[in-house]
Amino acid sequence: MNPKEWAEKIIEGDVRAASRLMRDIDDRMPWVSDVMKELYPHTGRAYIIGVTGSPGVGKSTLVDSLIEVFRKKGHSIGVVVIDPTSPFTGGAILGDRIRMQRHSTDSGVFIRSLATRGSMGGLSRSTSDILRVMDAMGKDIILLETVGVGQDEVDVVNTAHTSMIIMIPGLGDDIQAIKAGILEIGDIFVINKCEREGAERMEREIMMMLELGAKRKDGWVPKIVKTEAIKGKGIKELVEAIEEHRTFREDPEHKRKFLQKALRIELLNNLKDQISNRVLEVIGHEEGLTQAVNEIIDGKKDLYTKSEEILKQLLC
Amino acid sequence: MNPKEWAEKIIEGDVRAASRLMRDIDDRMPWVSDVMKELYPHTGRAYIIGVTGSPGVGKSTLVDSLIEVFRKKGHSIGVVVIDPTSPFTGGAILGDRIRMQRHSTDSGVFIRSLATRGSMGGLSRSTSDILRVMDAMGKDIILLETVGVGQDEVDVVNTAHTSMIIMIPGLGDDIQAIKAGILEIGDIFVINKCEREGAERMEREIMMMLELGAKRKDGWVPKIVKTEAIKGKGIKELVEAIEEHRTFREDPEHKRKFLQKALRIELLNNLKDQISNRVLEVIGHEEGLTQAVNEIIDGKKDLYTKSEEILKQLLC
């Protein structure tokens, strides 16, 4: 099959063709780029919802509840889970993701776990491309679950249309710093496990921070929603908040500004990733890299000089 | 002053010269590389200890306790704190770091907070360079505090000589996945806030995972230490575990293998970062980037074609 035929299959919603392409996106196969060019004109329709929060806050349970609600409304769903464990293990650990599996027999739900891999990064590019494939497949809503720490993940969160930040009461002082830092990307703040002590205090704190912080450029006033996802509590209110934000950002001016921000990040990450592959070629892959490192260890060259030498070979 | 003179000042331990260089490392000033070349032969002596864990586990309190113990032993200390909030705010939020400030009047302690910045990353390079500056200043021990999520941060953790993973009981199921994933980089596992319910169970779980997991290539059997850092409990045992690991890894073969791994990461990140700067030049910085993005939004070119065009200008 040529790139055009692959693209056609994916646009028709062929799960096997899409899965194969996604695997090859992960593996940085060169043919991917030609298929992506074909898919590009068929994208831009899906609504991407970011679900971001520290480990243990219940992201998967929330995603599971949202799938259920959106399915009942007749939407087709894509789910992309970015697994923070993967840099260490080389593969995603499923953990309590298993809960979500009850949707796996539903052909309207397509779930994909994404590993971060390789020392040259590339998470953002893979994720953007995979979101775009799901978009081309005709998924109405794509849920993007991530821990949201690290530049790569932040880039990813920034490409979501609605960003939810999930928190729970009683995670200690350090988390407050995160909250303050995360203000700028949160369209909706979810206090999950809200039956726990401290939920009201947390709500007041977030409100205070929102009031004290700089007004958002787009004029949106972030919502705060309390949930107890495991019991389905607050999910209705959460969905309403999402829909309210969606309506708000349908405004053409907001839409263009958002696209500018998202495409800027995506273009840079696409470049970064392609260049990384070229760097490895110039160095001579693993073997050449080992040799370069040994030269540095044996004191033949310092790190900075060696780096300059490689750059001279690579760049115009 | 020329690069050689800057380097000499830093090697003499001049705090102002070092601070200035570190700021310029952060800002990617071109002169930095020449000073780093001069410093390079004077590095390799400091012992780097990674302190990694989710927000709220008490990293800062532990670091504070370790500073106290190591100072009493007569060591000079450097502390590098990587702040996960910074991608959002553009600067470090100090939060409960203030506790550490009691050491700020001690000339034997040098504390530096590091922001992750810019959509093209660069955290790893900055951190490696800053660790190397502290090393050249003659710091005996450098404590590196980080959340440890995201490839960039994992790279950083991998350059520590002893890696401590900090956990607390009762952070939920998701954290279990992280623990399993983090096994491979933890030399010492610290269960902090060990007065909490579930500490013993957590200890058993970690032990079990260590037994079930693949044996480490270097032969080290990770230690588990329980602490209540806020009360100083378990700190003596923690320091003993660190010293035991340090003795273990003095073996020349281990040392070379470690250096190979660490320099490999550092070389790649140095390249990546320098290339990023060059990419921005080729695109035409902010203005050129905005123009490129608008071309994509207006449908003149798709993302993938535009990316290829830029690469052609950049690479040999």
Mean of all residue pLDDT scores within chain A: 84
| Chain segment B245-272, per-residue pLDDT in tens | 999 998 898 889 888 988 998 898 888 8
> How much is the pLDDT for B185?
78
A85 and A114 in a single domain? The answer is: yes
A1 and A75 in a single domain? The answer is: no
**Within-domain flag for A70:** yes
Confidence of residue A9 (pLDDT cuts 50, 70, 90): very high
Considering only alpha carbons, which residue of chain A is nearest residue B89? A181
Specify the number of domains making up chain A: 2
**Within-domain flag for B299:** no
A127 and A15 in a single domain? The answer is: no
A128 and A212 in a single domain? The answer is: yes
For chain B, list residues with pLDDT below 70. 83-102, 104, 115-122, 148-153, 171-183
| Chain segment B95-114, per-residue pLDDT in tens | 444 556 667 677 789 988 87
- C-alpha of A234 from chain center: 24
Residues 6+ apart with CB under 8 A from B14: none
Kindly report the number of other CB atoms within 10 A of residue B49's CB atom.
23
Residue where the block lists tokens 């776990």: A113
**Within-domain flag for A269:** no
Q: Looking at the partner chain, which of A88, A173, A271 has a beta carbon nearest the beta carbon of B184?
A: A88
* DSSP three-state, residue A113: strand
Residue where the block lists tokens 């990674």: B50
Show residues of chain B in contact with A311, CB under 8 Å: 271, 274-275, 278
ipTM above 0.85, yes or no: no
Kindly report the number of other CB atoms within 10 A of residue B30's CB atom.
9
Q: In A106-198, which residue ranges form alpha helices assigned H by DSSP?
A: 123-136, 151-157, 174-182
**Within-domain flag for B285:** no
A169: pLDDT strictly greater than 50: yes
A265: pLDDT strictly greater than 80: yes
Written as six digits, the tokens of A294 are 């040994």
**Within-domain flag for B282:** no
Considering only alpha carbons, which residue of chain B is nearest residue A275? B311
Written as six digits, the tokens of B59 are 């990293």
B102 and B70 in a single domain? The answer is: yes
Amino acid at B72: K
Nearest to A272 by CA among A124, A115, A117: A124
Nearest to A193 by CA among A55, A101, A56: A56
Per the CB < 8 Å rule, is B149 touching A154?
no
B18 and B57 in a single domain? The answer is: no
A36 and A163 in a single domain? The answer is: no
Nearest to A77 by CA among A51, A40, A58, A53: A51
B176 and B186 in a single domain? The answer is: yes
**Within-domain flag for A54:** yes
Considering only alpha carbons, which residue of chain A is nearest residue B307? A271
* DSSP three-state, residue B96: helix
B86 and B215 in a single domain? The answer is: yes
Q: Looking at the partner chain, which of B83, B116, B311 has a beta carbon nearest the beta carbon of A274?
A: B311
**How many Cα atoms within 13 Å fall on the side-chain side of residue A118?**
20
Q: Looking at the partner chain, which of A87, A173, A276 has a beta carbon nearest the beta carbon of B95?
A: A173
Q: How far apart are CA A51 and CA A60, in angstroms?
A: 9
pTM above 0.80, yes or no: no
Q: Which of B251, B280, B298 is the endpoint of a domain?
A: B251
Q: In chain A, which residue ranges form alpha helices assigned H by DSSP?
A: 3-11, 15-26, 32-39, 59-72, 86-89, 123-136, 151-157, 174-182, 199-212, 235-248, 252-283, 285-297, 303-314
Show residues of chain A in contact with B54, CB under 8 Å: 54-56
> Which structural domain range is residue B239 located in?
43-251
- Measured at the alpha carbon of residue B275, what is the angle toward residues B271 and B279, in degrees to the nearest 5? 170
